[in-house]
Every structure is written in C-alpha cells, then in structure tokens.
Amino acid sequence: MKASQVLKNGVLPGGLAGLAGGLVLAAAMYELGRLDIFGQLAGVISQLAGFILVLAVSALLGAGFGVLVWYQRPNAGETLVWGLVYGVFWWYLGRLTMLPLLQGKGLTWDVDSARAAFPDLLGLILLGGIIGLAHVFLRRMFQVQAEAQQAGRASLFRGALAGLLSAYLLGVAADGQDQLLAFAGMAAGGSALAAWPVILLIGLLAGVGFAWLFTDSTGGAGVGLIRGIAYGFFWWVAGGLTLVPLITGSGLVWTATEVQIIFPTLPGYLLFGAAVALLYQFLGALIRLLFSEFLPGSSEEGLGTQGLRIVGRSGLAALVGGLLFSLVMWQTGFLPRVADLIGSSSPVTGFIVHLAIAGLIGLSYGILFRRQSYDVGSALGWGVSYGFFWAMLGPLTLMPVLLGGTPQWTADAAASVFPNLIGHLGYGAGLGVTFYILEARYSPWWVPRTEVQAARLERREEQVQTSGPALWTLLILLGLTLPILLAKGQGLTPVY
C-alpha cells in the first residue's frame, strides 16, 4: 500500500467529502436548534463554534472513510452503502460511547439515552451517505484516467418505470392503513388525491437514482434485492424524514417521538426499495431475453437440471432454517397464529404450515441467491439479510393481509413481533449456510475442480470489493436497533 495512493484516492477526497456532508449536517442541526450543543463540546455556547466543530469533525470522519474504502471500486451505489454503515458505526462508537466518556458521564448505552440521541443517528447516517456519494465524485476528479460510471437512457428509463410501479404498490399499501398522507409528508386531514402525485414523484426520482447509482454493480437478483432494501432505507432518511417534510413546511422529523408517529413509512420505504431493485432487474432480464440470444457455455447445465438441483438444495436448507425458526415460534406461542392461516389453532398444524412456508421462502432464496455465496461468511450475510427482508414482508405485511386485515407497519407492531424478527434472522442464517455447503460441494464432472475453485475465488474477491459486507451489517443493525428505540411501550402483545 503506497502512502501517495492512500492520500490521493482516500484521505484527500474523503476529507473534502466530509466537508460537504458537514455543511448539510450543520444545516440540519441548525434547523433542529441543536447546533449550539456542539459548541458546548468545545467549551463555547455559540452556534458559530458548533458550526466550526461540525465541519472539523465531519472532515476527519470523511478522511477516515476515504482510508477505509480507497481500494474499493469507485462505484457510487456501493460506496453509498458503505457510507450509511459508517454513519451508524460512528453513532455507536462516537455519540453513545466516546463522547459521553470524554464528558465524564460514563457510557450511555441505555435505551432512554439512545432515544434522546436519535436525531444524531439520523444526522450521522445522512452524513455518511453524503460522504460516500461525494467521495466517489471527488475521487473520479482526481483520477483523470478513471472511467466515469454512466447510465444509458435505456437503464434510466428502466429505473423510472420500476420506481413508478413500486411507488404505486407502496401507495396502495399505505392507503390501506390510512397512511398515504404520511408518506407524502402531508398533515392529517389533507387530500389523498393530492398525495398521489408526491408519492409517484418520489418513485420516479428513486427509480432513476437507483439506475444511476447501481449501473455497473455486479450480482444477481438476490443481491440487487438486498441493495434495494438499503437504498430504501437511505430514501427514508434523506427523503421521508428530511426533504419531504422540509418541502411541505413541517420541518425535520428527526426526534424519536416524531418518528414513532410516522414509523409506518420505514417498512414501506424498505419494501419500496426492494421492489425497485427487483423490478429493475426483471425489466433488464426481460429486455435481454427478448433482444439477445442465449448460448450456454460448456460449463452450463440445462435449465431443467439446474432447477432440480436448486429445488433439492433449497428444500434441505429451508428445513434446517425452518427448524431453527420453529424454536423461537414455539417459545413465543406464535404457532397457533400461523395455523390460523388455514383456519386452525393447533400448534402442530401451525408447525406444519410453518415448514411449508419456510420451504417456499427457501426455494425463492435458491433462485435469487444461487452462486452468490463464496464462503461461509458471505452465505451467512446473504441468508440473514434475506431473513430480515422476510421479517418486513411476512409478519408485518403478508400475514395480517392473509388474515383479513391490512399491513401492520406501526412501531408497536414491529416491537411486538421482535422475537419473530430474531427467528427470521436465525432462519436466514441456517438457510444461507446450508445452501452454500450443498452448492459448494458440487461441480460438473466435465469441468476441472481447479477451474471451479479459481472461478469461485475470483468471484469472492470481486464481491469483497463491493458493498456486500456493508449490506449485511446495515440490515442487522437496523433490525436490532430501530424497533427497540422507536417502540412506544414494553410488554406489547402481538396485534394479529
């Protein structure tokens, strides 16, 4: 590692990116009336001192970020995800740990202190996202010979269409919960008809943004799905909690109390991002199918053979994950709720239905994530991330709908099924690792094993340079942090 490369590709663009993010963070803190609090850290009760301190700290954080990602490919979307994780990391390490220790207050790792610091979490996440995007732009300026990422008109059109369709689905789900105005940033009593153009505009911008950010990203539909969840989270912070309230004149919605009220927008944005990514991938695959010829290589098996292998591997992997999940469901008494899907209340029936659902989810995992795990670590990461996705889609969305209700995206509902979230994460871990073990043990007899191992090693090195590890970390932190911080009470019972 050459010091000049780290300085040119990491420290310098990172520091400047940190200044850009610091300007936005300082403006947000001023809007919230918290800028003078930062001045107190320097011993001066002054907004000017707070402004200078925010810029200085942001520049240092940006330089540190540049050192961490200087070897990564300068892809805007991948670096954005790393920036989001970087912001969450500094909330834990800086805001909840180092800062109170320097102030002589001791560690502030209790829930009440974390809730009081919730605006700082959103601020650091926004700062990290801006640092990531600005770092890519500045790094390309310094690297004259680097090829800029460009999204063609076809990709942008595909992204726009995916965004509009996803926004429509989001609007329908939100309208069913009487939350359409919350997604549009409008006060209660407003016109639902006026909210639809705002939601569709958000979808259009988000879809085009996804196409631009992830133009040259690698990976299949499953990897794209997880990227979409992270992208939806970024839009929740930057759009739903920041830009939309500012545009509508209601001000930043960053306190824990305010976010509790509009918590339904979080699962909505996460699923919206996932839908954008999947539709974007689907439209791209459809175009390639219609306008290109597919000639399988010598190492490719037929579709029928591949399909049978996927069914077998995913079925066994789903059984392992489903058994792990059933331990949580048995302890929490949730199996009768599952049995209620077919009109029963028996825990045994619920267990059978649970395994059947686990098998279907496992099959979808095999289709979406085949050949995406190259070691146990990546298998665990993709599996747990997919489990988090189903924690949002299953007990909070599909299950209440199948039981005759509407999606339950409230903070209380998320807190009440928190054990279910842990179960989904455990299910995803068992599913991902087992599927990888079964997949890694097999290679076609006509392909030399050394060639298979070399190809797997090459793909693993390529994945390490993407945002894969950051995606896994971000979704786990979100799943374990936000339901606890934003729950209105304790000892809540399931709402289904």
Mean pLDDT for the stretch of residues 450-454: 59
Least confident among 129-138, 165-174, 241-250, 286-295: 286-295
Question: Residue 233: which pLDDT band, with cuts at 50, 70 and 90?
Answer: very high
CB 159 within 8 A of CB 152: no
Mean pLDDT for the stretch of residues 273-294: 81
Phi, psi of 410 (to 5 degrees): -80, 165
Higher-pLDDT residue of 154 and 44 is: 154
Kindly report the average pLDDT of the chain as a whole number. Answer: 83
Q: DSSP alpha helices (H): ranges in 153-264?
A: 153-176, 180-183, 192-213, 221-235, 244-248, 256-261
CA 195 to chain centroid, in Å, comes to 25
pTM (predicted TM-score): 0.87
What pLDDT shows up at residue 344?
A: 87
What pLDDT shows up at residue 300?
A: 55
Mean pLDDT for the stretch of residues 369-373: 84
CB 61 within 8 A of CB 131: yes
Mean pLDDT for the stretch of residues 11-15: 89
Question: Residue 491: which pLDDT band, with cuts at 50, 70 and 90?
Answer: very low
Segment of 18-22, 143-147, 218-222 carrying the highest mean pLDDT: 18-22
For 461-480, how does the pLDDT look when each residue is reduced to its tens digit (9 = 90+)? 666 667 788 888 898 888 88
SS3 2: coil
- What is the distance between the alpha carbons of residues 450 and 105, in angstroms, rounded to a whole number? 57
State yes or no: pLDDT of 386 exceeds 90. Answer: yes
CB 59 within 8 A of CB 22: yes
What pLDDT shows up at residue 72?
A: 67
